[in-house]
Structure 1
Amino acid sequence: MIQRIQTLYLLLSGLLMGSLFFIPLAQIETDTQEVFQFIYRGLTNAEGETVTPTLALSILLTVATLVSFITIFLYKNRTLQIRLCGINLALLLGSTGMIYYLGSQLADDSSVVSYSITTAFPVVALILTFLALRAIGKDIALLKSMDRIR
């Protein structure tokens, strides 16, 4: 059913991942006092022009967000929900790694990278997705126990 606790976990996970499209991930300041913003689509300068695009990160964040929302509406097929949660865990882990990797690669040795709190959102979404996976597993166990009683 859609009113289960895993729906809340998956919804919060999807909202956290969706918020990454609107908030900068990091700020990179060079030694020439030039400031760049690291957002989901790449490194942008002060005028908002994309200096270095990061298409892989954009695709990864989009797919992770969509999988979270799609998993909510597959409440009748719990085994598929568990598989999609596992896929989403891998996507969230990959997006976390890619954010930190790209943040360090886009910055020079003389520049300073200041990560914002939004870089922790994929980790929180990872924990919420794991909690949803456990709750779905508990639902399956409950339904199996009810079938044994009949």
Structure 2
Amino acid sequence: MIQRIQSVYLLIVVLLGAVLPFFLPVWSTEEGTSVFATDQFMIMTVFGASAILALITIFLYKKRKLQISLGRLNIILNFILLGFFVYWSLTLPGEMQISQKGIGMFLPILSIVFLAMANKAIKKDEALVKSADRIR
């Protein structure tokens, strides 16, 4: 059952957490240098944990309740990451000058959206299995 739509959503979360932080800047300094998520250990650790958790969730397709629980845990992890980004964007040194926030700050939001869609699809599968069991 790896070919289900929730597996595609979870694979997108894996790509958002494992690949894109290397290519998309989190913010740019006033000198024009880009700061990536890989420059900050804590951010990269949370991105990696989110990607690994989503990858594990893909292969637990026979345990749908555990998949939903891991999806919720991953959503909480991404909210924590989003909190780090909000905190650092508000306390960046030199905010009086012009510094630009990068597209990398939106990666946790995209991950949360795809995780919520995956959880919705998993719940739909669970309801389908329960209805089939009820008929027998």
Per the TM superposition, whether the score is higher than 0.5 is: yes
Output the CA distance in 2 between the equivalents of 1:117 and 1:59.
Answer: 19
Give the letter for the 2:17 counterpart. M
Q: What TM-score, normalized to structure 1?
A: 0.82
State the number of aligned residues.
Answer: 135
Deviation at 1:37, TM superposition (A): 2.4
Q: Which runs of 4+ in 1 moved over 3 A?
A: none
Q: 1:139 aligns with which of 121, 125, 128?
A: 125
Deviation at 1:78, TM superposition (A): 0.9
Structure 1's unaligned 5+ residue stretches are 43-53
- If each structure's strand is expressed as a fraction of its own residues, which one has the higher value? 1
Q: What TM-score, normalized to structure 2?
A: 0.89
- If each structure's helix is expressed as a fraction of its own residues, which one has the higher value? 2
1:38–1:103 contact (8 Å) kept in structure 2: no
Q: 1:115 aligns with which of 101, 106, 130?
A: 101
Give the letter for the 1:62 counterpart. G
Structure 2's unaligned 5+ residue stretches are none
Partner of 1:26: 27
Give the letter for the 2:29 counterpart. I
Give the letter for the 2:13 counterpart. S
Percent identity over the alignment is 36
Output the CA distance in 2 between the equivalents of 1:11 and 1:92.
Answer: 15
> In terms of Rg, which structure is larger?
1
Partner of 1:51: none
- What is the alpha-carbon root mean square deviation over aligned residues? 1.5
